[in-house]
Amino acid sequence: MANPRPSKPQNGGKREGAGRPKGSKNIYSNDSVKKLEELGFNPIEQMVEKYYEIQEKLDSGEIRIGSGAYAQLMATQGQLINNLMQYSYKKVPDKQEIELETKKPVAIKLTMKEKT
């Protein structure tokens, strides 16, 4: 006998082929890239130039070591490095799950050897 109730469509969960493909860009990303190209602005290039400008100021001695300005330039330079790293390296995860192997108890049986 056939089932009188039609099967209910599946709700939720993972479906094969669903979602946006890996590596695809959304509409807004494409628009932003096009606009920057139209303006002739390359943010990566600008960050690198700014890094070298700061390095020149620090190396020239024009800013006293230990001053607030020196500390601010060092902090800015560090931020530039962090921002540039995302284009070359994967971000290190904050937490790593470590799977620990469960240890089984060991039984040791001691016996006295008989003297012969």
* Helix ranges restricted to H, the chain: 27-39, 43-60, 68-85
pLDDT one-digit tens code per residue, 73-109: 999 999 999 888 887 777 777 777 777 778 888 888 8
Looking at the structure of the chain, the number of domains it has is 1
Mean pLDDT, the chain, whole residue set: 82
- Is residue 49 in some structural domain? yes
Q: What is residue 73's predicted lDDT score, i.e. its pLDDT?
A: 93
Per the model's pLDDT, the better-predicted residue between 9 and 16 turns out to be 16
In a domain, 31, yes or no: no
If one compares 94 and 2, the residue with the highest pLDDT of the two is 94
For residue 103, is it within any domain? no
Distance CA(70)–CA(76), nearest Å, equals 10
Phi/psi for 106 (5° steps) reads -110, 130
Position 108 in a domain: no
Tokens 């971000």 belong to residue: 91
Residue 115 lies in a domain: no
**Domain housing 52:** 42-85
- The pLDDT assigned to 70 comes to 92
How is residue 9 annotated by DSSP? P
**What's the rounded mean pLDDT across residues 64-77?**
92
Q: Would residue 90 count as lying in a domain?
A: no
CA distance 73 to 64: 11
Q: pLDDT at residue 71 above 80?
A: yes
What's the length of the chain?
116
Give the pLDDT confidence of 14-25 residue by residue, as tens digits.
Answer: 778 777 777 776
Q: Is residue 19 part of a domain?
A: no
Residue 51: what pLDDT?
A: 94
